[in-house]
Structure 1
Amino acid sequence: MATLTKTAPTPAAGRTARRRRRGTSALLTGRDRVVATVMVAVPLLLAAAFVWLPALASVGLSFTKWTGVGPIKLTSCADLPSLPGLPQPGCLFGVQNYHQAVTVYPDFWPAVEHNAIWLGVFICFATPLGMLFAVIIDRGIAGSRLYQSILFLPVMLSLALIGIIWELVYAPNYGLVNSVIGRTGNDNLIDWLGDPHLNLWALLVEASWRQAGYVMVLYLAGLKAVDPSLREAAVMDGATGWQTFWRVVFPAMRPINIVVLVVTVIESLRAFDLVYITSHGNPLHGLELLSVSVTQNIVGETQRIGFGSTLGVILLLISLVPICTFLFQAFRREEHR
């Protein structure tokens, strides 16, 4: 009966291994190390200069009263508006901008409401529509490549260009919509972008047109990653196409579902370009959004950089909720593997 014996490495084998390690390290010359350091350091410096430092500066400025000129001063209790006949409420030094944002600033709660409506339309309309497009194209219908390119085209266009295109569509006198429904006369015009009861919903059509194509691409990637054997097993068990998708395919795309949810929340919060193009930089009733309020306070006529930074920090904190949820889910999946 043969026995297996473990032989100790010979001195020659040890010298060979050391030569290999020295040879591998010798491949990295001083120039290679410099190039690798630069390739890592430059993106980090750019991210710090254009992302992290401005974000930290905004957090610091959110506690101040500054117009962009002159000294920067911390907000005080005297900055709070006092009500006639009532004593001045107690306050913490430096947080008066936050107090004014949620109690005094007239556009704050309408902006929060409109952002919530934007998110609701994206979740209830744009995301299911994009998923429907992805399912249909994934079936390999004739001309699926052409349909995919057409539906993805709005994603490739900038939001500013989309706003200009839809301004022509919604124009009161010569726009496509009014021409189709026959409302081009001076006595029966519909001002889709000027009417505060209609302009938000008109912009949501524009935004959903683009968002559906974005979601379609994400779900197409998720459908391609689903194991085909799962569908085959469901079909063999007698499941219909609808049952196969909702009970087998859709749960298998849980990572993509989380990504789509996070992207949808972020896109609804950062909505700015379409509103800014439509309003031509001026505040319009019915189109109050948090991102627009930040810009109007920082670069507008009032130049309230401290208060605009406060609104930006509030928007950042709201955005961190879905981002942290996504990171938590991603790290937990990695730990369970």
Structure 2
Amino acid sequence: MSTTAEKPAAPDSEPGAAGQTLAASVRRGVGKRPIRTGRVRRLTRRDKLVLTVMVGLPTLIQLLLVWLPTLFSVALSFTRWNGLDLKDIKPAGTENYRFVVEDYPPFWPAMQHNILWLVFLALVATPLGLLLAVLLDQKIRGSKIYQSIFFTPVMLSLALIGIIWQLFYNRDSGLLNYLLGTAGTPAAVDWFGDSNVNIWAAMVAATWRHAGYVMILYLAGLKGVDPSLREAASIDGANAVQTFFRVVFPAMRPVNIVIVVITIIESLRAFDIVYIINRGTNGLELISALVIQNLVGEGQVIGVGSALAVILLVISLIPIVFYLIRTFGKESKA
């Protein structure tokens, strides 16, 4: 009997065919992430027009309303001019600055009042705003309503605030004298008319607005503090006061710098409220009010007013430059 070797049937697929197919697919680039060509979309004519308007228009407004008047003020501070005829402009060198510093009686009282305004805002208004922010950050009931109430004065101009506080400080019918029981009597205090107390009354009115502004800034800073920092301080046994002053407050250093700069600028640019009260005279002399007194009115002295404006500008630039150096210095290190 003869035996015949049977030929095994061919399998449906060769061994390793799946791997070969996958390898071939990889070689052909199937499954690969598409390679970016790095091409940048070109700006269309419409894009260029929109960018030109959005950048050029604010720049033009800033140039016309801020920088050109600033340069003109600097130039006029070295001249004598009556403000009427351009032909009467005469060079004066540094005579206007010498007159302001040595022979202009209201200048140094105005400097003292500006410094007093700064100290009052720094030691009273700013801590008050911080206290309000800390209290409203405790998730108390109706905190949004309280935030709106305290922030409302910030939306008002200082001129309007001066009018509101005139009603409060009025000698004969004001709310304050009424609460003191002296309204309509000889013992009533003329809060805005008495040169011994009007600067303090004006600073209290300014505090009403400044505290709300500081409150909003600190509320934003408190929301940005990492909660894990408070938890770690609590685990270490720190109480609420220690946690705030040793952990939370130092963590808000960028906000603190901004508030310091804003407080300094607010103390220097204070003008509206004192001008509403008595045009910045009789105990309410401020540098900003002296600038307007010399630039506007019958007794205008353009050179002196411009010199005062330049002095105020230089003093204001100090905190601004400090803030910019700190900000861009950190970015360059990063």
- 1:73 matches 2:87: no
Aligned-residue offset at 1:35: 2.0
Q: In the TM superposition, what whole-angstrom CA distance separates every residue of 1:267-300 from its partner, at most 9, and x where no partner exists?
A: 0000000001111x3x521100000000000002
Give the structure 2 partner of residue 13 of structure 1.
none
Q: Which moved more, 1:155-164 or 1:195-204?
A: 155-164
How many residues are paired up? 299
1:220 CA drift (Å)? 0.5
Residue 293 of structure 1: aligned partner: 290
Spell out structure 1 runs of 4+ moving beyond 2 A. Answer: none
Map of 1:217 onto structure 2: 216
Task: Verify the 8 A CA contact 2:171 2:184 in the aligned structure 1.
Answer: no
- 8 A Cα contact 2:173 2:184, kept in partner: no
From 72, 77, 82, the equivalent of 1:62 is 77
Match of 1:49 in 2: 64
- 1:317 maps to 314
Residue 184 of structure 1 and its aligned partner are, at CA, apart by 1.6
1:37-64 Cα offsets, whole Å, 9 max, x none, are 1221111111000011111111111101
**Equivalent residue for 1:122?**
121
**What amino acid maps onto 1:292 in structure 2?**
A
Q: In the alignment, does 2:282 pair up with 1:265?
A: no
39, 48, 51: which one pairs with 1:21? 39
Q: How big is the alpha-carbon RMSD for the aligned residues of Structure 1 and Structure 2?
A: 1.4
Alignment partner for residue 300 of structure 2, among 282, 303, 307?
A: 303
Give the superposition deviation at 1:203. 0.4
Under a length normalisation based on structure 2, what TM-score does the superposition of the two structures give?
A: 0.87
Structure 2 unmatched runs, 5+: 1-28, 30-34
Query: 2: distance between equivalents of 1:17 and 1:246?
Result: 51
Segments of 5+ residues of structure 1 without an aligned counterpart are 1-9, 11-15, 76-93
More moved, 48-57 vs 184-193: 184-193
**CA–CA separation in structure 2 for the residues paired with 1:272 and 1:236:** 49
Aligned-residue offset at 1:183: 0.9
Shift of 1:17: 5.8
**Could you say what secondary structure the match of 1:300 adopts?**
coil
Question: In the alignment, which residue of structure 1 is the partner of 2:55?
Answer: 40
Aligned match of 1:80: none
Partner of 1:184: 183
Which of the two has higher C-alpha Rg? Answer: 2
Aligned to 1:277: 276
Residue 227, structure 1, aligned to residue 226, structure 2: yes
TM-score, with structure 1 as normaliser: 0.86
Give the corresponding residue for 1:87. none
